[in-house]
Structure 1
Amino acid sequence: MRVAVRAVAGLAIGMLTALVAVACLALAGLVIAPTLAWPAGRATVFRLVSTGVIRLTRLEQWRLGRFLGDAEAAGYRGYGRERALAYLGVRWPVGLLGGAILLLTAYGAGTMVAFTWMWATGGTPDGMRFELWIAAYLFVFAGVLAFLALQGLIGVVRLERRLARRFLGPTDADALRRRIEELATSRAEVVEAVDAERRRIERDLHDGVQQRLVALGMLLGQARRHPTRSAELVERAHDESRQILDDLREVAWRVYPTALDNLGLAEALARVAERSPVPVSLRYELVERPPAPVEAAAYFVVSEAVTNATKHAVAGRISIAVATGEDGAVLVTITDDGAGGADPAGSGLTGLARRVAALDGRFLVDSPVGGPTVVSAEFPCG
C-alpha cells in the first residue's frame, strides 16, 4: 500500500513537472529564436536555458528516487545538457498521460461515491432511481475501469523508469568504466582482507595455541623432575592438551569449516548456533546448495555477526535467516536484540563487506543506538 501511494504521488508530481517542462521548452524556443543573430545575447540565453534544464532534470531525478524507487537514475550525475534536454522533450507526454489517468480515476471514484451517497439518502442522481440491476451494472463497469486505470498507471510508472534510465542513467561506456573501477577496488580490498585474516590467524596461533603448547611442555618437564607430583602434573597437562585441541579446532573453523564441504551451509550454520553462548534461532529456506564461494562468504558473515553480537552488543537473543531473493540470490540476515550502535566502518564489519563485495554482493548494517542490530548480505547466484 505504501509503495502504491508513493507511486501515485510521484505520478501526480510528474504531471506538474511535465507541464513545467512544456512551458519551459516552449519559452526556450520563443526566447532563443530571436537571439540567433546576436552572439552575445545568445550565449547568455543558452546559459540561462541550460541552468533551467539541469535544475528541472534534478527535480525529476529527486521525484524518481523518492517516489518511483529508481535509485540508479536518481543518483547519476554524469549526463550533460543535451541528454537532459532530450529527456525533458521525450518525457513530458508520459507525464501528462499519467496525470490524465489519475484525473480520470479520481473523477470516476468521485462519481461513484456521489451516486452511492445520493441513493443512500433517497436521491435520484441523473434522474435514476435506485434499482439493483442498475447499481450492479454501474459497480461492475466501475470495477473494470478501475482495473484498466490501475494497469495504465503501472505501465506509466514502468515507462517513466525506462526513460529515466535511458536518458539520465549511465551510458554503456560509463557503466563499463564504473564496473572496471569497482573490480579494481574490490580486488585491492580482497587482497587487504586476506592479509588481515592471515595476520589474525597468526596472532591466534601465537597468542593462543603456541602459549598453551609452551605451558604443556613446562608441565611435562615438571612431571619428569618431580616424580612425586607426576600424577597431578600429567592431569593438568592432559587438560591443557584438550584446550589446545579446542583452540586448534577454532582456528581451523576460522580458516575454512570442513562442515561446508561435507554437510553444507545449513549444518555449518547450525554448528555456529550451537557454539554460541547466546540463544540463536536459525531459519534456513534454501532449496538448492549455493556455489561454494557463496557458502563460504555467507558462513563467515553469520559467524562474525554472531561473534560481534555476543562479545560487544550484550545481546540476549540472535536470529539467523537464510532465504532466496530475486533471480536466485542468497539473502542472509542476522538480527540481535543488543545495545546497537555497531560501526559499519569497524575492522570486522569492513572485512565482511569486502568478502561480500568480492562476489558482487551487497552488505548492509542497520544498528541504531539501543538496537536492534540487523546485518544483511545478498549474494547473486545467477
Structure 2
Amino acid sequence: MRERWFRPGETVARRAVRLTAGVCLGAVTAVVGLAYLVGSGLLLALVLPWPAARRSTRWRVLACARRLAAVDQRRAAALHGDPSAAASLGGDRALVYLAIRGPVGLLGAAVLMLLLYVVVSGAVLMWDWFNGRPTDGLTPSLLTVGALLAGGVVTLFLIAQGIAGVAAMERRLARWLAEPTDREHFQRRIAELTATRADVVEAVNDERRRIERDLHDGVQQRLVALGMLLGRARRSHAPDRAEALLRQAHEQSQQALTELREVAWRIYPTALDQGGLAAALETVAERSSVPVRLGGVPDNLDPTTAAVAYFVVSEAVTNAAKHSGADHVTISVNREGPRLVVRIHDNGIGGADPHGSGLSGLTRRVAALDGSLRVDSPPGGPTTITTELPCA
C-alpha cells in the first residue's frame, strides 16, 4: 500500500494530516452534494408537467452536477493522491457520483466526530486528574490512567483505519465511475480505428512520395546521364573518345543499379523474409555510418510486427547518423509480455522533433498496428526512441 498512499519524501504524520483533511473536506462536499440532489429533485418535480421547462431544467441540473463532481474529484486527486480521480464525468454519471459520495462522506464525518469526541474527552479527563479532581467518582490512580490510555490508543488506531478506509472508498468510487462504459469504449475504439485508418492512408501516400522523390533525384538522374553518354558515344567518330564515353556510361549504370537497390531496400528488405528481423537489423547496423550495437532479437515474430519494428529502427538509425552527431547507437529488442519493445538510444545532441516528417510517419505506422512510439530527446541529448508493438 505504500506505493499507493505515500508520496515521495512524505512522512507518516504528513500522510495522516493529508488524508484527514481530505476526509474532512469530503464530508463538506458530500453534504453540499446531497443538499443539491434533494433541491434539484424537488425542482424537477415542480416542472414535470411542462416538457420544455423540464428539458431546460434537467440540462442545467446536469451541468451543475458536473461542476460539483469536478470540484470533489479535484479534492480527492489532490488530497488522496490519485490522479485518475480527476477524470471528468458526464452529467448522469455526475449525479450517480454525488448520490454515492453522500453516504461515504457522511461516514467520514461520523469517523471524524468520533475522533473529536475521543480527543476532547481524553483531554478533559487528563486535565481533571492532573489537577486532583475526581471525575465520575473515579480517583486518580496509575492503573486507571493506564487502562484509559490503552483504550484511547486502540480507539485512535481504529479511527485512523476508518479514515484510511473512507479515503480508499472515495478513490475506488472515482476510479469506478471514471472507467468508460462498454458503449463509450466501443465509440472510442471506433474513433481510434478511424483515425489510424486515415493515418495509414497518409503514411502510404508519404511513402509513395518518398519513393518518387528518391527515384527522381537519384535513379532517374543516373539514367538520364547514362542515355546522354550513350548518345554521345554513338555520335562520336573517334574510337578513343567513344571508348571513354562507354566507360563512363558503364560506371553510371553501376551507380544507378546501386541506387535502385537502395530504394528497393528502403521499400522492403528481402532479409526480412529470408532471415527474419535479426538478419534485417544486422544489415542496418552494417550499412550505418555510425557504429551500432545490436542486442539479441527474439525469433518467431509475425511478419507485420517484424516489418514495423525494422522500419522504426532503420529510420531512427538514419536520423541519428544524419542529424544527431552521435558516435554510437544502441538497439535493444525484447519481448515484454504480449508486446515487443524496441529501444533505439544514441548519445547525440538530442532535440529530435517527434512531429517531424520522419518520426510522425513512423508514429502513424506504429499506431496502425495498435502500438505506441515515444521519443525522449531533450536538447543536449541523449535521444531514446521507444516503440511498443503487439506481439502474438
The equivalences for 1:266-277 within 5 A come to 266-277=278-289
Cα distance in 2 for partners of 1:54, 1:238 equals 74
Cα distance in 2 for partners of 1:268, 1:69 equals 42
Note the C-alpha offset of 1:243: 1.5
Aligned to 2:307: 296
Residues 345 and 14 of structure 1, relative CA distance in 2, 3 Å threshold:
farther
Aligned to 1:220: 230
Note the C-alpha offset of 1:19: 3.9
Query: Which stretch shows the higher mean deviation, 16-25 or 316-325?
Result: 16-25
Counterpart among 45, 64, 70 of residue 54 in structure 1: 70
Q: Is the 8 A contact 2:34 2:99 kept in 1?
A: no
The equivalences for 1:209-358 within 5 A come to 209-224=219-234, 225=236, 226-286=238-298, 288-325=299-336, 327-358=337-368
Aligned to 2:214: 204
Note the C-alpha offset of 1:169: 2.0
Cα distance in 1 for partners of 2:107, 2:295 equals 45
Cα distance in 2 for partners of 1:74, 1:289 equals 42
The equivalences for 1:133-152 within 5 A come to none
Query: Which stretch shows the higher mean deviation, 164-173 or 259-268?
Result: 164-173
Residues 330 and 198 of structure 1, relative CA distance in 2, 3 Å threshold:
same
Q: Is the 8 A contact 1:18 1:93 kept in 2?
A: no
Q: Is the 8 A contact 1:213 1:244 kept in 2?
A: yes
| TM-score in terms of structure 1 length | 0.70
Residues 84 and 255 of structure 1, relative CA distance in 2, 3 Å threshold:
same
Note the C-alpha offset of 1:187: 0.5
Note the C-alpha offset of 1:175: 1.2
Counterpart among 22, 27, 32 of residue 27 in structure 2: 22
Match of 1:348, SS state, is: helix
Match of 1:264, SS state, is: helix
Aligned to 2:146: none
Cα distance in 2 for partners of 1:158, 1:269 equals 49
Cα distance in 2 for partners of 1:157, 1:243 equals 71
Cα distance in 1 for partners of 2:180, 2:296 equals 37
Equivalent residue letter for 1:58: R
Kindly provide the CA deviation profile for residues 37-94 of structure 1, in whole angstroms up to 9, marking residues without a partner as x. Answer: 7889xx9999877644321113435678xx5575xx6555546422432563587699
Note the C-alpha offset of 1:373: 1.3
Aligned to 1:180: 190
Kindly provide the CA deviation profile for residues 259-318 of structure 1, in whole angstroms up to 9, marking residues without a partner as x. Answer: 1111000110111111110111111342x3221111111111111111111112222211
| TM-score in terms of structure 2 length | 0.69
Residues 34 and 334 of structure 1, relative CA distance in 2, 3 Å threshold:
closer
The equivalences for 1:83-122 within 5 A come to 83-86=96-99, 88=101
Equivalent residue letter for 1:234: L
Equivalent residue letter for 1:298: A
RMSD: 4.0
Cα distance in 1 for partners of 2:270, 2:108 equals 57
Note the C-alpha offset of 1:30: 6.4
Aligned to 1:380: 390
Aligned to 1:81: 94
Cα distance in 1 for partners of 2:40, 2:368 equals 55
Residues 91 and 363 of structure 1, relative CA distance in 2, 3 Å threshold:
farther
Residues 232 and 45 of structure 1, relative CA distance in 2, 3 Å threshold:
closer
Counterpart among 358, 367, 372 of residue 362 in structure 1: 372
Cα distance in 2 for partners of 1:244, 1:94 equals 80
Equivalent residue letter for 1:203: R
Q: Is the 8 A contact 2:28 2:105 kept in 1?
A: no
| Structure whose CA Rg is larger | 2
Aligned to 1:142: none
Kindly provide the CA deviation profile for residues 149-183 of structure 1, in whole angstroms up to 9, marking residues without a partner as x. Answer: xxxx9x99998876444211222111111111111
Cα distance in 2 for partners of 1:267, 1:160 equals 53
Cα distance in 1 for partners of 2:259, 2:168 equals 56
Q: Is the 8 A contact 2:70 2:88 kept in 1?
A: no
Equivalent residue letter for 1:239: E
Match of 1:378, SS state, is: strand
Note the C-alpha offset of 1:203: 1.5
Residues 78 and 334 of structure 1, relative CA distance in 2, 3 Å threshold:
farther
Q: Is the 8 A contact 1:278 1:318 kept in 2?
A: yes
Residues 86 and 230 of structure 1, relative CA distance in 2, 3 Å threshold:
farther
Cα distance in 1 for partners of 2:203, 2:36 equals 59
Note the C-alpha offset of 1:199: 1.3
Note the C-alpha offset of 1:33: 6.0
Q: Is the 8 A contact 1:333 1:377 kept in 2?
A: yes
Residues 46 and 381 of structure 1, relative CA distance in 2, 3 Å threshold:
closer
Structure 1 segments unaligned to the other structure (5+ residues): 97-152
